[in-house]
A and B are shown apart, each in its own frame.
Chain A
């Protein structure tokens, strides 16, 4: 078992000191960004042009759904959100700290990316995980 929490997905980076952050891969030829490694750009086909890129910690809500029924053991309702980060990278996650009510949720509302424990979820070895969440920017 790891003494420190692990990243919930490969594109969360947890430095020895300092705050966790999101890391993408950017194609040097066409500037498309990807979450997770790849060799060849699926937008333009360029090979060996990928470089890591630290992704911004804020963005805007692009689209969402309010999930009322999920798999057994998953707490509902929650908001599944598609967010465009400030550099244009699209990312999906839970939108928190807002009522799951379409009246309260606005397209393009500014959000911050925050890092926290992965809702208490642990793997079989008992490791805990760090995940990211979207939080409305305080006015």
Chain B
């Protein structure tokens, strides 16, 4: 099978665009990614479109109405917070299979403000606040405190994740926010669900990102190898059975499974990875994923954040984009925005936040329900 390469990739600056439509927001990133490699929609053989909010709304076709209706197949994808990564992976799989030589993958989301999640009805009354909480900040608080019960991880250690990611975002002009948040500011921010304060919750924003995947033959033919990024691994998992499944959405085991498969597929280990964009939907989650992705051993995540190993300039920088906590988290776009970030560093185009000498990077997203997507990318 041919290798597949990202030849064009871009994202819009995340923000709030209530006056624009979902297809308009998606079309913008699609055009930017096409421009990134000097191709047009006429060169694309298929479109893979990720969106959650209008999952039944044929968003991909409506994007083509904005950028060119060429009659190509459109695959609309919805897979919780792994939506963008799933769309990208479907495109990758088709190129790997030899079905197409050039495909466009778009992730787009327009978000409301406010809390995500909530315990559903079913019987005639709301269960939220009656049978615990189904809000996302609580679900991830409970997953974080599970780490605390095992390893003594503290509120301050969780909060340091936000300090780091907000600092990183000051170097990223495409992040929603560019604001330093010292530890005491993070810890004293409004408590949403202990131990997650408001500054430890990802930002609901609108956004889009897009990538163009090419077969090796096509990338060479078009002279696009110089800035191309090779997809070394693409993995998607669902959550294997766990004993507390029913009451505690499990973000760990499907990530561990995906990481194991991704390292195997790439023939690489965690030591080979130069930077990681992982799913910091809440500060508590990032701590869990250091261990889930094998960036450190069991129980060592607290040390990773204390010593700055995961900060820009550290041993294994994590979320130098600012992460979901500060760059923002437009659900369907996040998976492809991660790929944009890692590709940008591999191309040496990261500007002030460039991870020096980066050759191999990893992206990770997890959608509750659950779906985990991991990609390992390498400078071509």
Q: A residues within 8 Å of B by Cβ? A: 6-10, 32, 34-35, 42-43, 62-71, 74-76, 78, 80-82, 84, 88, 90-94, 100, 102, 107-108, 118-119, 121-125, 127, 129, 131-132
Cβ contacts A to B, 25 pairs, < 8 Å: A6-B123, A8-B123, A8-B130, A8-B131, A9-B131, A35-B246, A65-B138, A65-B142, A65-B145, A65-B194, A66-B194, A70-B115, A71-B135, A76-B129, A78-B129, A80-B138, A80-B142, A82-B142, A100-B194, A107-B148, A107-B149, A127-B124, A129-B124, A129-B125, A131-B131
CB distance from A135 to the nearest CB of B (A): 14
A123 touches B124 (CB 8 A): yes
When chains A and B are docked, how far (Å) is the Cα of A70 from the Cα of B124?
A: 19
When chains A and B are docked, how far (Å) is the Cα of A7 from the Cα of B133?
A: 18
When chains A and B are docked, how far (Å) is the Cα of A69 from the Cα of B141?
A: 13
When chains A and B are docked, how far (Å) is the Cα of A76 from the Cα of B46?
A: 49
Residues of A close to B126: CB separation below 8 A: 71, 74, 121
Candidates B135, B139, B142; contact of A70 at CB < 8 Å: B135
When chains A and B are docked, how far (Å) is the Cα of A10 from the Cα of B92?
A: 43
B129 touches A74 (CB 8 A): yes
Other than the given A67-B135, A94-B131, A100-B194, 17 more pairs (CB < 8 A) read A6-B124, A62-B146, A63-B142, A65-B142, A67-B129, A68-B191, A68-B193, A69-B190, A71-B126, A76-B129, A82-B132, A82-B142, A90-B248, A94-B129, A102-B194, A108-B149, A123-B123
Indicate with 1 or 0, residue by residue over B136-158, a CB within 8 angstroms of chain A CB atoms.
01110111011011000001000
Q: Which residue of A lies closest to B118 (CB)?
A: A71
B247 interface residue (CB < 8 Å to A): yes
Q: Which residue of B lies closest to A35 (CB)?
A: B246
Residues of A close to B248: CB separation below 8 A: 63, 82, 90, 92
CB distance from B37 to the nearest CB of A (A): 44
Residues of A close to B139: CB separation below 8 A: 65
- What count of chain B residues pass the 8 Å CB interface test? 40
Q: Which residue of B lies closest to A129 (CB)?
A: B125
Candidates B122, B130, B195, B244; contact of A121 at CB < 8 Å: B130
Candidates A34, A65, A129; contact of B133 at CB < 8 Å: A65
CB distance from B238 to the nearest CB of A (A): 11
B243 touches A63 (CB 8 A): no
Candidates B130, B145, B190, B243; contact of A119 at CB < 8 Å: B130
Q: Which residue of A lies closest to B146 (CB)?
A: A63
B13 interface residue (CB < 8 Å to A): no
Indicate with 1 or 0, residue by residue over B189-231, a CB within 8 angstroms of chain A CB atoms.
0111111100000000000000000000000000000000000
B123 touches A65 (CB 8 A): no
A67 touches B145 (CB 8 A): no
When chains A and B are docked, how far (Å) is the Cα of A94 from the Cα of B133?
A: 8
CB distance from B370 to the nearest CB of A (A): 13
When chains A and B are docked, how far (Å) is the Cα of A76 from the Cα of B146?
A: 22
Residues of B close to A42: CB separation below 8 A: 241, 245
Candidates B123, B135, B145; contact of A63 at CB < 8 Å: B145
Residues of A close to B118: CB separation below 8 A: 71
Candidates B125, B137, B243, B245; contact of A123 at CB < 8 Å: B125
Q: Which of A7, A71, A102, A124 has most B Cβ within 10 Å? A: A71
When chains A and B are docked, how far (Å) is the Cα of A123 from the Cα of B194?
A: 30
Q: Which residue of A lies closest to B141 (CB)?
A: A65
Residues of B close to A75: CB separation below 8 A: 129
CB distance from B7 to the nearest CB of A (A): 41
B190 touches A82 (CB 8 A): no
When chains A and B are docked, how far (Å) is the Cα of A135 from the Cα of B44?
A: 60
Residues of A close to B133: CB separation below 8 A: 65, 67, 70, 78, 80
When chains A and B are docked, how far (Å) is the Cα of A64 from the Cα of B193?
A: 10
